[in-house]
Structure 1
Amino acid sequence: MRTGLGVLAALACLCGAGHGQTVASPHLMDAPKAAECKVTDEWATPAENACYATTPDYAETMSYLKRVESAAPTQVKIEAFGKTGEGRDLDIVIVSRDGVFDPAALHRAKRPVVLVQNSIHAGEMDGKDACIALLRDMVVTKSKAALLERAVFVFIPMYNADGHERRSRHNRINQDGPLEMGFRGNGTNLNLNRDYLKAEAPETRAFMAMFHRWLPDFFVDDHVTDGADYQYDVTFTIDDGPNLPNGTAKWIDDVVTPGLEKYVDAHGHLASPTYINLVNDNDPAQGLAFNDDLPRFSTGYMILEGRPSMLVELHMLKDYKTRVTGNYEILAGLMELVNRDADKLIALNAAADKEAEAMGAHPLSNVRYPLALGWGGQTTPFLFRGYKYTRELSAVSGAMWVRYRHEPWNVSLPMQTGFKVTAETTLPAAYIIPAQWTKVIDVLAAHQVEMSRTTAAWSGDVETYRCAGMAWQEPPFEGRHPTFNGEAMHDPGRFGSCALVRERTSFPAGSAVVRLNQRLSKVAVEWLEPAGPDSAMQWGFFDTIFEQKEYGEAYVLEELAREMMAKDPKLKAEFEKKVASDPAFAGNPYARLEFFYERSPWYAANRVGLYPIGRLGSVDGIPVAK
């Protein structure tokens, strides 16, 4: 069976499943047993040396990579791009055919850059060992040297390096090997793959600076699944929705996705060109659910950057060798495709950048911009290669229990397809953010969004939002209490409602003006529009605007209520109707008095729920630094 791995012929693994085979689910309370190997090649990777029973730790990983760098210094360069919270170096490995390691020079030469991120969830380190093997075969054994003909391969070995070193046999109960693996959270227990837009972790801030220095043409994020059991050992998905430029989406659908599926299948694995997310985990026959990547995820964030990106998910219950070699093959297939379609890819990315730079060209018009997408209601038949299973009522959980039998079950299932817009907005020419909202501005700065600062105080009528009906999540999610429900998809009903209003607003000197005539316009819009599923508002950066700071004593409000009802019979009738129809309101003295306070000029002065950011149709007349 073809493997594409240059030294596999020199490895004789005497136990464990072979390449491309499926194995029964391990007993989840047992760690995989170490394999016995006879290795005859000096360039076998640490994982190969262990017959895939183990993965190297941080020091051993970097030692092997530096050894390759020393052996091929004109083709490989290791470059630090930041530090983790615990002080470990964050590195990229740059692989170029001719020693050109400068991203600006590579872009001038029209050489596409592929950036692969590994171990963001550090228990899912398969991509790291796949990239190490692919690096070796590109520059040492040369069996994959052709993949560097035009493209440049850049990879992050261990993005969540702190989590990578929190190694244990008990980090992932639902994964078949290796013996020890890293942990999902970083040093402060943040999930880095929920941090892309809010950018709070030091790793995320370092990533943004590195990403914009390199501005890769194609991005890959390597993972290992949770979820159902099935025959596929490699699943992947590439976003192709209406929030992508049409040309990019068409190339993905017509060329990239079918091409990679064919390549992986031809190299000894079984690929699914969609992430397997069941409608009902307890009933696989109901089919596959709709997937959309929000900006909190790496691949969702890449939509805002205007770059195609692929989520790779190896199957958790396949043995480690099968998973690593499957990851190897899809990366090799992508590099082959990027070399072949280099000019097309570069042109598509340039067109995406121009589209983003023109977003503010028709400010406050009726043109709608989609902030969030949902399932459009359609289904498409999907030939699912699963396993036969039984369902029975569990005496333990009280729910239906699915038991897989590992006999092939090839069946056509409905897959939820099509998109509908669940949140949208019109676009301004620019936003203006009051200087005091430093944390909100700081996130945009971390993303390297272009901003100007006002040189003097300015007041004017601006379009903004007044928001009400908010609900916050009680248990923390990524260290916050957001207005969305954790991992659930965007739910506008939970978020409440924000209505556009015009308000006379004052902005101090040093306020940030963000024009939508730049490549990162989509980043600014998704962060600053309240209804964006990962906006600053949704993540709780503006929670204080919903706090009432001024109140009235009961004896004062008693007088106020009587005066207001005497002057306004309609208000009196509204109050009496609410008392008669709402028992909870009628029995709450505070709520009854607050009814009048909220309708008074004193409450309006509190500006409760008034969004502080202005939407500008023009920046003319605003004192902005040149």
Structure 2
Amino acid sequence: MKITSIIIAFTFALSISFASELTELYKKNQTPTYTELIAHYQQLADTYGSARLMEYGKSDSGEPIYLFVISHSGIFDADSIQAAGLATVLINNAIHPGEPCGVDASAKLAEDLLAEGVIPNTRVVTCIIPAYNVGGMLNRGCCSRANQDGPEEYGFRGNAKNLDLNRDFIKADAENTKTFYKIYHDWKPQIFVDAHSTNGADYPADMTLINTARSRVEESMRTFFNSSMTNSLYRDMIKSGYSISPYYHTYGDTITDGLMEYMDSPRYSTGYTTLFNTMGYVSEAHMLKPYPVRVDATYAFLKAVVFYAQLNSSAILSIYNNANNNIRKVKEYGINYKLDTTTNLELKFESYRKKYRTSSVTGLPIHYFDQSIRDTNTIPYYADYKPEKMIQVPQYYVLPQAWSAVKERLDLSQIEYRTLTKDTTMQVELYYISKYETSDRPYEGHYFHYNTEVIKDTQEVTLRAGDMIILTDQDGIRYIIESLEPEAEDSFFSWGFFDSMLQQKEWFSDYVFEPKAEKILAENPKLKADFEQKKKDDKEFAASSW
């Protein structure tokens, strides 16, 4: 027994030593490789009974995406955790592997939660995706982010398909995104954090924060999320010794013009999770702070989130469940949010003085931030957005079975529907696309449509056996509307999933159709009147024989 105890103790000591060595890398301006990182989490899972490392699915690069789960309750089945009334926090890392501070911060957080027992409370389950963009993480180098202070080597923003995964959460072109869907919908987190570093301006704050745009948060949870939770996290960061501000997203040319809240539409990680009433944050450590500072600031924020979840788990679960119940009852739903500049909050913001000089390289004017001069201004903070259009929520949407790529994404997002067992004729409201614009260049693998307009009509149509009837009275109602309404900015139509419908497939010769056109107009006086009026109003139309 003595020998066994010594061996166990020695093995345990080696495990802790291995883990600690990896979590000290960031202090040397380094970040672990994918292989080193997964070995770290496997070592923790092998050492602690309250941890599991789960292989969840594949990435575009072929390597698996893992989920690391810390559950002090000893429950590791997602359904059982939900049944037990435990709150869940999901942390995502390396969606942009050139911004790896979350990778190191989460590795340290996991070690501390387990080794030190920082949170012995059994009411919170912490789920960590160690490396989401695996292909980008494997594509390591020193120089793709020239506007960043360390680490020595890091990954690349694009994944194995050169996709920005933080624009993929509706279209799901990447296997990574499909794996995320499985993780997210299995575990149904109440809180989600996506760890990043900033781009752009220089300023004193160690950390900036994107919270899900408050206008898009379900109404019953809005006050809790905006006032109680977010404000508490700001206070906790300051207590930990790190300065924090809202994300540097300027309204005008200068900081005195104000900042505006970032609108995270459904293409973004927190935009997607908000569709299912998860409260979301994007931590943005300041790129020009030394790498150890960025990691420590990210660690402090992640720890603050988990602590807050522990202290407020009952309230968080209650608010989350209420939001899911309330959203199913909405009769109108807003899409395409635009900034409301008629109202704003006030924000005290500390900045470095912005100045201009002549570039010694180009000979042209270039701006810089003078760190020797700090300005503190009370500036407007534009936090309200208003929907451009209100949708009357239908009882059902109909998706013909031909659109298998759309069906796949509905299935992955756990959207419920029933499949017709026989051909059925019914009266439906349908859309005709009357207008849209398309980007001149591809964006994230698509020629994106925008400024779409539709004409509604009510018709009797025959649906085929196998077509899908999608009930809106379900938890995924917001996802259903945002993805299936053609005018919604991140809809499947906007991303080109229905593009084949935009091309004419049959033609005719005008000389052949002329006698038929005469007969149709003669038999339909109103159609003829509309036709003549159209010729008067539209010169281009009148000049075409088609």
Q: Is the TM value for this pair above 0.5?
A: yes
- Name the amino acid aligned to 2:111: R
Q: Is the 8 A contact 1:240 1:249 kept in 2?
A: no
Q: Is the 8 A contact 1:558 1:593 kept in 2?
A: no
Q: Does 1:381 align with 2:346?
A: yes
What is the distance in 2 between the residues matched to 1:399 and 1:563? 69
Q: Does 1:533 align with 2:506?
A: no
Q: What displacement does 1:184 show?
A: 1.0
What is the distance in 2 between the residues matched to 1:271 and 1:137? 23
- Go from structure 1 to structure 2 and tell me whether the alpha carbon gap of 1:345 and 1:498 turns closer, same or farther (over 3 Å shift): same
- Go from structure 1 to structure 2 and tell me whether the alpha carbon gap of 1:186 and 1:460 turns closer, same or farther (over 3 Å shift): same
Give CA-to-partner distance per residue, 1:255-283, whole Å, 9 cap, x none: 111111111111121011x2210124x53
- Partner residue, 1:592: 544
Q: Judge which range, 428-437 or 234-243, deviates more.
A: 234-243
From 60, 70, 92, the equivalent of 1:85 is: 60
Q: What displacement does 1:577 show?
A: 3.3
What is the distance in 2 between the residues matched to 1:572 and 1:329? 68
Give CA-to-partner distance per residue, 1:361-419, whole Å, 9 cap, x none: xxxxxx42112321122222211111111146879999973211113221122222322
- Partner residue, 1:370: 334
Give CA-to-partner distance per residue, 1:538-565, whole Å, 9 cap, x none: 1111122222222222433566677778
Q: SS of the counterpart of 2:545?
A: helix
The number of residue pairs the alignment matches comes to 526
Mapping of 1:526-565 within 5 angstroms? 526-556=482-512
- Name the amino acid aligned to 1:101: F
- Partner residue, 2:145: 172
What is the distance in 1 between the residues matched to 2:383 and 2:85? 35
- Partner residue, 2:228: 255
After superposition, the CA RMSD in angstroms is 2.5
Q: Does 1:283 align with 2:235?
A: no
Q: Is the 8 A contact 1:561 1:593 kept in 2?
A: no
Q: Is the 8 A contact 2:53 2:66 kept in 1?
A: yes
Q: What displacement does 1:169 show?
A: 0.9
- Partner residue, 1:111: 86
What is the distance in 2 between the residues matched to 1:592 and 1:85? 49
Q: What displacement does 1:86 show?
A: 2.1
- Partner residue, 2:13: none
Give CA-to-partner distance per residue, 1:138-178, whole Å, 9 cap, x none: 222x1x52364531211001001111110111221211111
Q: SS of the counterpart of 2:20?
A: coil
What is the distance in 2 between the residues matched to 1:85 and 1:444? 20
What is the distance in 2 between the residues matched to 1:248 and 1:520? 17
- Partner residue, 1:472: 438
From 139, 162, 166, the equivalent of 2:114 is: 139
Q: SS of the counterpart of 2:416?
A: coil
From 17, 31, 51, the equivalent of 2:27 is: 51
Mapping of 1:343-358 within 5 angstroms? 343-358=314-329
Give CA-to-partner distance per residue, 1:335-379, whole Å, 9 cap, x none: 1111111100010111122123435xxxxxxx4211232112222
Q: Is the 8 A contact 2:57 2:65 kept in 1?
A: yes
Q: Does 1:577 align with 2:536?
A: yes
From 196, 200, 205, the equivalent of 1:232 is: 205
Q: Is the 8 A contact 1:147 1:336 kept in 2?
A: no
- Partner residue, 1:309: 280
Q: What displacement does 1:536 show?
A: 0.9
- Go from structure 1 to structure 2 and tell me whether the alpha carbon gap of 1:207 and 1:50 turns closer, same or farther (over 3 Å shift): closer
Q: Is the 8 A contact 1:238 1:252 kept in 2?
A: no
From 96, 101, 115, the equivalent of 1:126 is: 101
Q: What displacement does 1:585 show?
A: 6.2
- Name the amino acid aligned to 2:340: G
What is the distance in 2 between the residues matched to 1:261 and 1:428? 40
What is the distance in 1 between the residues matched to 2:160 and 2:376? 43
- Partner residue, 1:499: 455
Q: Is the 8 A contact 1:45 1:64 kept in 2?
A: no
Q: Does 1:403 align with 2:355?
A: no
Q: Is the 8 A contact 2:261 2:382 kept in 1?
A: yes
Normalising by structure 1, we get a TM-score of 0.79
Q: Is the 8 A contact 1:53 1:178 kept in 2?
A: yes
- Name the amino acid aligned to 2:374: P
- Name the amino acid aligned to 2:86: R
Q: SS of the counterpart of 1:51?
A: helix
Q: Is the 8 A contact 1:432 1:514 kept in 2?
A: yes
- Name the amino acid aligned to 1:380: L
What is the distance in 2 between the residues matched to 1:299 and 1:482? 21
- Name the amino acid aligned to 1:442: E
Q: SS of the counterpart of 2:260?
A: coil
- Partner residue, 1:181: 154
From 431, 442, 455, the equivalent of 2:397 is: 431
Q: What displacement does 1:226 show?
A: 1.3
- Name the amino acid aligned to 1:547: Q
Normalising by structure 2, we get a TM-score of 0.90
- Partner residue, 1:61: 37
- Name the amino acid aligned to 2:378: S
- Name the amino acid aligned to 1:550: E
Q: Does 1:76 align with 2:51?
A: yes
Give CA-to-partner distance per residue, 1:300-347, whole Å, 9 cap, x none: 111111111111111111111000000000111111111111100010
Q: What displacement does 1:448 show?
A: 1.2
- Partner residue, 1:341: 312
Q: SS of the counterpart of 2:437?
A: coil
- Go from structure 1 to structure 2 and tell me whether the alpha carbon gap of 1:241 and 1:501 turns closer, same or farther (over 3 Å shift): farther
Q: Does 1:483 align with 2:444?
A: no
Q: SS of the counterpart of 1:555?
A: helix
Q: Is the 8 A contact 2:26 2:291 kept in 1?
A: no
- Name the amino acid aligned to 1:401: I
From 380, 402, 407, the equivalent of 1:414 is: 380
Q: SS of the counterpart of 2:65?
A: strand
Return the structure number with greater helix share: 2
Q: What displacement does 1:566 show?
A: 7.8
What is the distance in 1 between the residues matched to 2:171 and 2:328? 22
Q: What displacement does 1:240 show?
A: 5.3
- Go from structure 1 to structure 2 and tell me whether the alpha carbon gap of 1:385 and 1:504 turns closer, same or farther (over 3 Å shift): same
Q: Is the 8 A contact 2:73 2:123 kept in 1?
A: no
Give CA-to-partner distance per residue, 1:207-238, whole Å, 9 cap, x none: 11121111112111111111221111111132
Mapping of 1:195-210 within 5 angstroms? 195-210=168-183
- Go from structure 1 to structure 2 and tell me whether the alpha carbon gap of 1:420 and 1:394 turns closer, same or farther (over 3 Å shift): farther
Q: Judge which range, 58-67 or 284-293, deviates more.
A: 284-293
Give CA-to-partner distance per residue, 1:501-533, whole Å, 9 cap, x none: 112222111001111121112111111111221
- Name the amino acid aligned to 1:314: A
Q: SS of the counterpart of 2:383?
A: strand
Q: SS of the counterpart of 2:326?
A: helix
- Go from structure 1 to structure 2 and tell me whether the alpha carbon gap of 1:279 and 1:452 turns closer, same or farther (over 3 Å shift): same
- Go from structure 1 to structure 2 and tell me whether the alpha carbon gap of 1:402 and 1:593 turns closer, same or farther (over 3 Å shift): same
- Name the amino acid aligned to 1:102: D
- Name the amino acid aligned to 2:279: P
Identity %: 28
Structure 2: unaligned runs, 5 residues or longer: 1-15
Q: Is the 8 A contact 2:26 2:295 kept in 1?
A: no
